[in-house]
Amino acid sequence: MKVLVTGAAGQLGTDVVSLFQEAGHTVFACDRNNLDITDQYACFMALNELKPNAVIHCAAYTAVDQAEQEVDSAFAVNADGTRNLVIASERIGAKFCYISTDYVFDGLSKEPYHEYDNTNPQSIYGKSKRAGEILVQSLSSAYFIVRTSWVYGLHGNNFVKTMLRLGAEKPEIKVVNDQMGSPTYTVDLANFLLELVQTEKYGIYHASNTGTCTWYEFAKAIFTDAESMTGKSYPAKVYPCTTEEYPLPASRPQNSVMEHLAIRTNGLTDLRPWRGGLRDFLKVHLISEQE
């Protein structure tokens, strides 16, 4: 299968490119340097020339707080850029896989969100990603929308790397303890996409590592596992705090937990528990840091 990956130099895209190549697929790795997704003509030309069987759209405007001020930029990338790629994919008959987010929900539910629950994004980032979803659903005849949450990987900045750095530098760290979600390791998500995109089981999917925690519980697990692997002690003491004590420009969902209903009903392989993903990430990351 020929697969075009946008955002190929990003945190998720790098692992998607690597895993699809290892599985024997022909991969066209596109990033902002060789494909401007906000340029409709450029999208048409690229897809018409390469003629992939599937497009995995990892590229996105992801600066959640900055988006509150850069509304046009967020929608230009997440909505208009997505539209350009969908139309270009339809013209050549390619499947389209759009990576979306837990931020399309308001986070007020007491229960995990199902794939077809009503969305109600509260931030510009969430609204722009939801706009992308709507355009995919409206314009593609063969789409996968994959919502994920709390993503971290080896190839970008993320919460895990930040905690490890602060844990070594600061005497104490306060971490939010009233937001619940599921951390997701990019390698595990990429493996799910590898299975999904080869099917014709189109629709919306929730894909995160299984199990839940708060950001505070996630931080504690990071230090516990890192210390057990390296024998190194992180001096910082970790304290829980509330969202109100740590105000940010963009609203975050209080409950980001997503039910994996579509994975189960379509007979696909669910992602493993989040703690296993974290341990595997730390093994590779901590070794690379020591080299």
Residues acting as catalytic residues: 125
- B/e letters for 270-280, b = 16+ CB within 10 Å, e = fewer, are ebeebbebbee
Helix axes 82-92, 124-139, angle to 10 degrees: 20
- B/e letters for 206-220, b = 16+ CB within 10 Å, e = fewer, are bbbbbebbbbbbbbb
Q: What phi and psi, each to the nearest 5 degrees, are found at residue 239?
A: -120, 145
| Residue 179 near residue 243 (C-beta atoms within 8 A) | yes
| Residue 146 near residue 205 (C-beta atoms within 8 A) | yes
Q: Give the three-class secondary structure for 96.
A: strand
Please state, in angstroms and rounded to a whole number, the distance separating the CA atoms of residues 57 and 71.
Answer: 20
Q: What phi and psi, each to the nearest 5 degrees, are found at residue 209?
A: -60, 145
CA 109 vs CA 103, 106, 245: distances in Å: 13, 8, 22
